[in-house]
Amino acid sequence: METGLEITADYSCLRPFGCEQNLLSRPDGSASFFQGDTTVLAAVYGPADVKVSKEIFDKATVEVILKPKVGLSGVAEKAKEQMIKNTCESVILTALHPRTSITVVLQVIHDAGSLLSCCLNASFVAMMDAGLPMKSSFCGLTCVIGTDGNIVLDPTTKQEKESRAVLIFGIESIAKKVLLLTTKGSCSVEELQRCLAICQKASEKIFQFYRDSLRRKFSKS
């Protein structure tokens, strides 16, 4: 089993981040993604057989399972599962595999802030490792607005708790369109637009990392 570890860092905006692909032998694709001290392990199964009750005649059924570091999944995990599922469904070419299932399983290894965006990034890298047909890339980015109005990208758990608002974006690679937006707290329209512009600009670093990661993976094979 081949694995490749790639790391990049830009301390002016994003915490150090990186991934390791093809970690697990049983899934069709797997990856570990870290952002700072936040780490998520993702596994992708499929396209595979699907239960008749979940079968969709003209496209694949996408499921996402998020497992917390300890204990059982609760309401917060179920909400994140739905957001990740909607984001994945928007880029996977599900019509190419009707009456099948694609399952993404996410295991939280450590949560030190920006967990949902790390889950999104881990999901995409694992789907890329599985060779799923997709129309574009996507990435997740989190930013917070402090009580002083300053915007911090890729915050830690402490920064999230001390902030006035937390905004999480899922951004696709072609036109930088927003696939996911969820907020907590209060912010003005102008602050929302500023956060979006910052995240769209920062997404280029992650998309370039995806390309470099894929290039290195196939240059070794």
Q: Across the strands, what pairs with 30?
A: 43
pLDDT average, residue stretch 109-116: 91
Q: Is the predicted pLDDT of residue 11 greater than 80, yes or no?
A: no
SS3 sequence of 62-73: EEEEEECCCCCC
Query: Distance (Å, rounded) from C-alpha 210 to C-alpha 197?
Result: 20
Number of Cβ within a 10 Å radius of residue 214: 16
Q: Is 72 left (phi over 0), alpha (psi -120 to 50) or beta?
A: beta
Mean pLDDT, residues 88-117: 92
Distance CA 61, CA 184 (A): 30
* Residue 189, Ramachandran bin (φ over 0: left; ψ between -120 and 50: alpha; else beta): alpha
d(CA 22, CA 181): 29
Quote the mean pLDDT of the chain.
87
What local confidence, expressed as pLDDT, does residue 8 receive? 37
Instruction: Please check whether residue 103 is in contact with residue 30, taking contact to mean a CB–CB distance below 8 angstroms.
Output: no
In 3-state terms the chain splits into helix, strand, coil percentages (rounded to 5) of 35, 35, 30
Cis before 47? omega within 30: yes
User: The tokens of 91 are what?
Assistant: 């880029």
Structure tokens at 158: 């402490």
For the stretch 120-143, pLDDT in tens is 999 999 999 998 999 999 999 999
Q: Which two tokens stand for residue 51?
A: 């239960």
Tokens of 100: 């099948």
Q: Supply the pLDDT for residue 10.
A: 36
Of residues 60 and 4, more confidently modeled = 60
Residue for token pair 């990034």? 121
